[in-house]
Structure 1
Amino acid sequence: MSKQQALLAKIHTEFRPHFVAVENESHLHSSGRGADSHFKFVIVSDIFEGMSRVQRHQTVYQLFADDLKNGIHALALHLYTKEEWMARGEVFPSSPNCSGVGL
């Protein structure tokens, strides 16, 4: 199982999402293609109802604490309730390139 698949499995178990995407963005950073260091999560879940943006991030970071200690450098988190996701038109957020690319 790839790192991306393992992360996705944890998300499905913990958050029971309406929509989820896990994207390996390591190639956008100085770690390069083939690395498992930078990931973007888009998670749409009822679990986030009533939670502030900070609480949502804390919940995800807590779940992936071991992964962050063992190779993952960064997570780009896009966390929504179903209503928030639908209100934004279910648009998949893009990520900027890291300034360290190509260094």
Structure 2
Amino acid sequence: MSTRDDIINKLHEAFLPESLEVHDESHLHEGHAGHRPGGETHFRVYIVSRAFEGKSRIERHRMINAALAQELADRVHALAIHAQAPGERPR
């Protein structure tokens, strides 16, 4: 299973999102720190979940980082997070 698939599965389990997109942006970071041949090192996540209602941006990021702790420790060098509660406008 790919790192992207692992991220998707863990975020689905943890947050039951209304919408979720996970983009592998590793190709944009070739030659930079943390990049490995084959990619799967730099990701961008767009997630909408009721779990984020009433939570600050920092709290949302901490929740996602905790859910993906294993991936962040082993395989993922960078993770950009866009987390919203349903009905919120994108920031």
Fold conserved (TM > 0.5)?
A: yes
Match of 1:19 in 2: 19
- C-alpha RMSD over aligned residues: 1.7
* 2:46 aligned residue: 42
Structure 1's 81 and 33: CA in aligned 2 closer, same or farther, altered over 3 A? Answer: farther
Structure number with greater Rg is 1
Runs of 4+ in 1 over 4 A off after TM superposition: none
1:70 is matched with which residue? 74
Say whether the 8 Å CA contact 1:27–1:33 is kept in structure 2: no
When normalised by structure 2's length, the TM-score is: 0.87
CA distance in 1, matches of 2:36, 2:73: 19
Distance across 2 between alignment mates of 1:56 and 1:12 = 15
Could you tell me whether the CA contact under 8 Å between 1:17 and 1:44 is conserved in 2?
A: yes
Q: How many residues in Structure 1 have an aligned counterpart in Structure 2? A: 87
Gaps of 5+ in 2: none
Normalised by the size of structure 1, how large is the TM-score?
0.78
Deviations 1:6-56 (A, max 9, x none): 110111111100100011110010226721110110000000001000000
Secondary structure of residue in 1 paired with 2:87: helix
